[in-house]
Amino acid sequence: MQSITIQAPDDWHLHFRDGSFLIETVAATARCFKRAIVMPNLTPPITTVEMAQEYKNRILQAVPDNADFDPLMTLYLTNATTSKTIIEAKEAGIKAIKYYPAGATTNSDSAVKQIESLYPVLQTMSDEGILLLIHGEVTHHDVDIFDREAMFIETVLNKIVQSFPDLKIVLEHITTKDAVEFVSQSGKNIAATITPQHLLLNRNDLLVGGIRPHNYCLPVLKRNTHQIALQQAVASGSSKFFLGTDSAPHEQYKKESSCGCAGCYSAWSALELYAQVFEDLDALDKLEGFASFYGADFYGFKRNEGKVRLIKEDWQVPKSITLPNGNPITPFFAGETLSWKVKE
Ligand code: NCD
Ligand code: ZN
């Protein structure tokens, strides 16, 4: 196939950061996505409606003139979040709240310590139709990093799902066969996002022949049996799995460090990389549902107007990008040649 045209897609999980990052990151996403669920893990995190509205305005100021892009804001769940916050969020048009277990990932220190103490808030979310977006990893230091997602499903998520059977939940950036099975077997109110890196790579791509910090993200890449389960999930065309890039920029010096940050900055190549994955799986006909339909349907939004066309054309992902603050950032798949390109 030489070209494919899909309904304009959305990105249901990403990180724009703030300040001088926005000119770079918002343009990269708005080149092909019409909407994106914006993660609230800034420092300090976005915990109130007012903070979310101010952040949204800063994002909107960074949208290029020729782009049509709508940032969908989220709030960061903390032990101080109340049902009143949820009601205010709903009134302000906020669709989803993000639950990071404390210590799970970048800027999650102020996150949730005991989810049970927030059950009244989850009940309000369920009543009000607000989605719970979950970073699904336990954080006890005695649990192996490769087991943290499966352990979270078994010990935390199961209980949440049983306690709130109507709560809409997105298990974000899933990485394991366990998660695929859990989501597949759950009711229609449970869905998951899948990133390009977890479809394309496994832990060998992180560790064999040297540590590759630009492939380091959380949840960490798993063994290839898990990668294959994720590929099968998207190739199946199930509407429970949809696109969330988890594009998560960090300056190069913060990734290439003795304690490197987690996160892949994939916004410039993500849609093209997904196309490559679906083509390799002989499932290009399933790309549109994954990228453009299922997320909108699950969140209860209208599907986008307009189309995006990808053509077969070799191009090279830049080796480095200079941020407006002058610092370099290494994009995901830097220097690699991709065979699909979004046609402007
Ligand atoms: C994200 C970040 O950098 O904010 N990092 C990552 O590896 N995915 C946080 C997150 O989504 O876990
Ligand atoms: Zn993320």
Q: Which residues contact 209 (CB under 8 A, 6 or more apart)?
A: none
pLDDT at residue 184, rounded to an integer: 98
Residue 330's pLDDT band (cuts 50, 70, 90)? very high
pLDDT at 283 over 80: yes
Ligand 1 pocket, residues with Cβ under 6 angstroms: 15, 41, 105-106, 135, 217-218, 246, 248, 262-263
pLDDT at 87: 98
Reduced to 3 states, what is the DSSP secondary structure of residue 86? helix
What are the φ/ψ torsions at residue 152 (nearest 5 degrees)?
-65, -45
| Catalytic option among 127, 142, 246, 314 | 246
Distance of CA 273 from the midpoint of ligand 2 (Å):
18
Asked if residue 102 has pLDDT above 90, the reply is: no
Q: What is the pLDDT of residues 167-189, one digit of tens each?
A: 999 999 999 999 999 999 999 99
Q: How confident is the model over 72-92, as a mean pLDDT?
A: 97
The H or E element that residue 51 is part of is helix 49-61
Exposed e or buried b for every residue in 172-190, given b needs 16+ CB within 10 A? bbbbbbbbbebbeebeebb
User: Is-cis flag, bond preceding 44, omega within 30?
Assistant: yes
pLDDT of residue 52: 98
Helix, strand, coil % in the chain, rounded to nearest 5: 40, 20, 45
pLDDT in tens, 189-212: 999 999 999 999 999 999 999 999
Task: Indicate which atom in ligand 1 lies nearest the CA of residue 217.
Answer: 7
pTM score, whole prediction: 0.97
- Please state, in angstroms and rounded to a whole number, the distance separating the CA atoms of residues 211 and 311: 33
Ligand 1 atom showing the smallest separation from residue 172 Cα:
11
Mean pLDDT score, 296-314: 98
Q: Which two tokens stand for residue 7?
A: 């309904």
SS3 208: coil
Query: Distance, CA 1 to ligand 2 centroid (Å)?
Result: 32
Cα–Cα distance, 35 to 338 (Å, whole number): 24
pLDDT tens string 19-61: 999 999 999 999 999 999 999 999 999 999 999 999 999 999 9
Q: Does 161 score more than 90 pLDDT? A: yes
Q: Which of 11, 174, 212, 246 to mutate to test the pocket of ligand 1 (most atoms within 8 A of CB)?
A: 246
Give me the phi and psi of 137, to 5 degrees please.
Answer: -140, 135
Q: What is the pLDDT of residue 317?
A: 98
What is the chain's mean pLDDT, rounded? 97
Confidence of residue 103 (pLDDT cuts 50, 70, 90): confident
Collect all residues with Cβ–Cβ distance below 8 Å to 320 and sequence separation of at least 6.
Answer: 252, 328, 329, 330, 331, 334
Q: What percent of the chain has pLDDT over 70?
A: 100
- CA 275/CA 291 separation, integer angstroms: 10
Closest approach atom of ligand 1 to CA 262: 7
Q: What is the DSSP string of 146-171?
A: GGHHHHHIIIIIHHHHHH-TT--EEE
Q: Where residue 106 falls among pLDDT bands split at 50, 70, 90?
A: confident
What pLDDT is recorded for position 344? 76
Say yes or no to pLDDT of 326 above 90.
yes
Work out the average pLDDT over 210-221: 98
pLDDT band per the 50, 70, 90 thresholds, residue 296: very high
State the average pLDDT over residues 82-90: 98
pLDDT given for residue 132 in this prediction: 98
From the CA of 12, which ligand is nearest? 2
Would you say residue 109 has pLDDT above 90? no
Question: Using one digit for the tens of pLDDT, what is the confidence trace for 235-282?
Answer: 999 999 999 999 999 999 999 999 999 999 999 999 999 999 999 999
Report the C-alpha gap between 62 and 213 in whole angstroms: 28
Is 246 a residue of the active site?
yes
The atom of ligand 1 lying closest to the CA of 107 is 4
Query: Residue 337's pLDDT is what?
Result: 98
Q: What is the share, in percent, of the chain residues with pLDDT greater than 90? A: 96
The distance between the two most distant Cα atoms of the chain, rounded to a whole number of Å, is 53
Strand 96-99 and strand 131-134: pairing?
parallel
Q: How far apart are the first and last CA of the chain?
A: 19
Q: Ligand 2 centroid to 60 CA: how many Å?
A: 20
Confidence band of 128 (pLDDT split at 50, 70, 90): very high
- Give yes or no for a contact between 187 and 164, defined as CB atoms under 8 angstroms apart: no
DSSP letters for 225-267 = HHHHHHHHHHHTT-TTEEE---B----HHHHSSTTPPP-B--T
The helix/strand/coil state of 282 is coil
Which residue among 77, 106, 266 is best mutated to probe the pocket of ligand 1, counting the most ligand atoms within 8 A of its Cβ? 106
User: What is the Cα–Cα distance from 92 to 50, expressed in whole angstroms?
Assistant: 9
Please provide residue 300's backbone torsions phi and psi, each rounded to the nearest 5 degrees. 85, 25
How many Cβ atoms from other residues are within 10 Å of residue 166's Cβ?
Answer: 11
Residue 105 predicted with pLDDT over 80:
no
Phi-psi region for residue 136, left (φ > 0), alpha (ψ -120 to 50) or beta?
Answer: beta
Confidence at residue 107, expressed as pLDDT on a 0 to 100 scale: 74
